[in-house]
């Protein structure tokens, strides 16, 4: 399923950026390039955020195809390798065949992961929308044609009328005088 919906594009970009960074670190370390320090990791996060933003902003229907996504992520792997190699030093900017293979495999694995997660998100969101619709729908209740009556009479007068008629009757001055002489 290939979609250009904004939510799916954003998810694709976020997964592509995050997985690109993780797989670049793994591929670089697997090919004996070393793990990045704080400075290299900060720059790598910026590079991978740019890769994710590029993938999310691409509105073409071809953006979701596996080969195109793998190509874009391959470019992200090259950018990640250059950022790690430039800042960390050690082996220079050139890739050994082992390093190139590790980064290419990481790009393909990231593209496959991104496509699988995109399909899973569509299924999960569809199920969630169905559950929300069921929970928010109002149940239709049957209204019976009969009413329940009690055996005793219920006082249905308003509360004001009930309170106004109870208590002493007479002017307020009668309340302040004692009833019995002292």
Segment 34-42 long-range contacts (CB within 8 Å, at least 24 positions apart)? 34/88, 34/90, 36/84, 36/87, 36/88, 37/88, 39/87, 40/83, 40/84, 40/87, 40/88
**The predicted structure's pLDDT at residue 2:** 47
pLDDT, position 64 = 62
Contacts of 171 (CB under 8 A, 6+ apart): none
Question: Could you state, in chain order, the average pLDDT of each consecutive group of 10 residues for the chain (182 residues)?
Answer: 66 82 81 78 88 82 75 84 74 74 83 81 85 79 66 59 57 59 56
pTM of the model: 0.57
pLDDT of residue 5: 76
> What's the confidence (pLDDT) of residue 167?
58
Give the per-residue pLDDT at 143. Answer: 65
């Amino acid at each position: 399923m290939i979609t250009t919906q904004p939510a799916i594009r954003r998810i694709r970009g976020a997964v592509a950026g995050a997985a690109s960074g993780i797989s670049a670190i793994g591929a670089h370390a697997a090919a004996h390039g070393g793990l990045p320090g704080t400075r290299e990791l900060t720059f790598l996060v910026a590079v991978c955020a740019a890769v994710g933003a590029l993938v999310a902003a691409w509105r073409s229907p071809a953006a979701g195809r596996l080969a195109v996504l793998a190509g874009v992520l391959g470019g992200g792997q090259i950018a990640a390798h250059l950022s790690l190699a430039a800042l960390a030093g050690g082996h220079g900017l050139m890739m050994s065949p082992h390093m190139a293979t590790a980064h290419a495999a990481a790009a393909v694995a990231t593209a496959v992961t991104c496509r699988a997660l995109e399909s899973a998100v569509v299924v999960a969101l569809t199920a969630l929308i169905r559950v929300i619709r069921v929970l928010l729908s109002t149940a239709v209740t049957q209204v019976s044609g009969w009413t329940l009556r009690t055996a005793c009479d219920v006082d249905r007068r308003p509360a004001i009328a009930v309170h106004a008629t109870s208590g002493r009757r007479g002017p307020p001055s009668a309340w302040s005088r004692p009833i019995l002489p002292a």
